[in-house]
Amino acid sequence: MDRTHATQEESNEQDGGGQRRRFTAGRALIVLVLLNIVVLAAFAVERRSRTDAEFCSSCHNMTAHVDSYLGSTHMDDAHRRAKVGCKDCHADYTLVDEMRSVVNFVAGNYDEVFARHKFGDEMCNGCHVSLEVQAAKTDHLRRNPHRGHYPDLRCGACHLAHGRQIDYCGRCHDNGGQRMTGDPIVGRAAAPWERMTTPGSGERGSADHG
């Protein structure tokens, strides 16, 4: 009798252990499936944000930036026409940041207006190389905006990614003549009156340097 009872208890314990193992395996499978779904969704979001600017405007506080990128006369639209994507400049906005932003947006925990994001010249020079290289490319203009009094002037002193270019030269010069992004191109040959004597040199020069 005792032997039969012990055998029955062992059998019950084995059945209970099997059930617990099956239950644990089932939960692990569910967690694994959910984790895969989250990972796939995260990578889908990352890909869409890299290739589709309009996807970023799914969060309405991004709409103004996306609209500017898609059809303004600002620097962002110039970059779009050059096939530069959002993530080419916002490379520091990682997948983890994106998922955190999605959660914050759903929870309503976000700023309606973004603070201005400042970039260093090293990001611009990743494509544009240097101020000297840009000066050579714009040397045909009536006034060369990249060759002036301040050789160490930062890109951001004139250029805003999602806003109208700053007329930095016009802060001091009433006739600064700095070409703004989107304005007609006036070459030096079309403006011969711009030739002038460079102050203090006694040589003929160009108003580019003034």
Length of the chain, in residues: 210
Judge whether 133 lies within some domain: yes
- The answer to whether 92 and 55 have CB atoms below 8 angstroms apart is no
84 and 138 within one domain: no
101 and 125 within one domain: no
Q: Report percent pLDDT > 90 for the chain.
A: 6
The total number of structural domains that make up the chain: 2
**Residue among 157, 135, 153, 152 at smallest CA distance from 206:** 135
Q: What's the CATH number where 183 sits?
A: 1.10.1130
Angle 24-25-28 from CA coordinates, rounded to 5°:
85
Strand partners, 187: 141
184 and 134 within one domain: yes
- Give pTM, 2 decimals: 0.60
What are 2-47's pLDDT values in tens digits? Answer: 555 545 555 555 555 556 666 677 788 888 888 888 777 777 777 7
- The answer to whether 3 and 11 have CB atoms below 8 angstroms apart is no
Q: Which residue has the tokens 């589709």?
A: 52
Show the tokens assigned to 24: 């644990």
What are 84-121's pLDDT values in tens digits? Answer: 988 888 888 887 888 788 788 888 888 777 777 778 89
Q: What is the domain extent for residue 102?
A: 2-107
133 and 101 within one domain: no
Domain boundary residue, one of 57, 75, 107:
107
26 and 85 within one domain: yes
- The answer to whether 164 and 74 have CB atoms below 8 angstroms apart is yes
- State the virtual CA torsion across 125, 129, 135, 140 in degrees, nearest 10: -110
What are 49-69's pLDDT values in tens digits? Answer: 777 888 887 777 788 889 999
Domain boundary residue, one of 50, 75, 107:
107
Judge whether 113 lies within some domain: no
In Å, what is the CA distance from 114 to each residue of 61, 158, 181? 8, 20, 23
Backbone angles phi, psi at 158, to 5 degrees: -115, -40
